[in-house]
Structure 1
């Protein structure tokens, strides 16, 4: 269902000691703040693009103002707890707003945890798994620890940090197009335990996601992070 289960490294692989120490000693807030802000900004840009194409208001009263205000608050938040709280809140709002742009018969209301019971969540899961893999390869190649994040915590946390601002452009736009224009009843089967995507439909979606996931931009973001850790260079987030 697209959940990462591990990472393979070359035989005899040893991480660069200087990179390891720099990552372990880094102040998380320095990186978490721009990561959280860019994640929200990238989603706002996609929502405003959808608003322009939908021909109708996809926002409830006050939602857009709240998201813009949250973006400003992320830029001045001084605690990790507040950064993470605001980030989670705005991500939840984003998916609920997205649901209003999709056919109601698909059953998508919000982003859920596995197992996924509707085809849209299943498509998001597939796309995010592909994006995760591309980013993880780049991080390991740069001798960065994928499990030592700044904004997120736990296994794969640094991968989740870096893909947060790339999801809207590299995955969400493609999934939304498939959900609106490409999917039909025969392309998925939903039961009580999970929703299965048809093999042919999945293959078409994977091909489209391969085109939309930009490895060069992921690599560039990883290099920016590595340089910021090693040389104290400015850290900034690429998106859109």
Structure 2
């Protein structure tokens, strides 16, 4: 398998895994990542599904990105638009069938495992480097193209805005939101170094390398 095909498989696999993890967060109702919180809130007030509003809101953001900084858009960006919401809804429905009424202990266990699942999927998606998600592009544009602040500050700002809107629109804001905000970064870095880069380039190539969402 050539390197380009491997990157595409990693990107699609990472997107599907991240989408499925969103569905798990929604099922256990202990809080979700900031953008999911925002999308869920909008879907709640419109009495619609997460996948529908994920595609709508992501498409709106992508129009802005395409107009001002289209180099952030790539293969993975478009795959994320069409696959993330569908994977989330499918996983949620599957868990409704498999675990219709999970106990609090089961929900906590699923949350702990799911942070690792989302971190693994994110690592695959980032290392593939075939474009960034629409949400990632907002903070990247603000920091790299317009120098408003550092990437970290811009990302925290967008996260806070999303969580605030989601909270007032009755989305799940809880311990899961806090955990994804503070613990996903180190887990993503570990999976990047020890799993994703070795998959792409060889067993030892990931050591001491740093990754974040990149341009296409």
Name the TM-score, length of structure 2 as normaliser: 0.30
- The structure with the larger Rg is 1
Higher relative contact order by CA 8 Å / sep ≥ 6: 1 or 2?
Answer: 2
Structure 1 or 2: more helix by fraction = 2
Name the TM-score, length of structure 1 as normaliser: 0.28
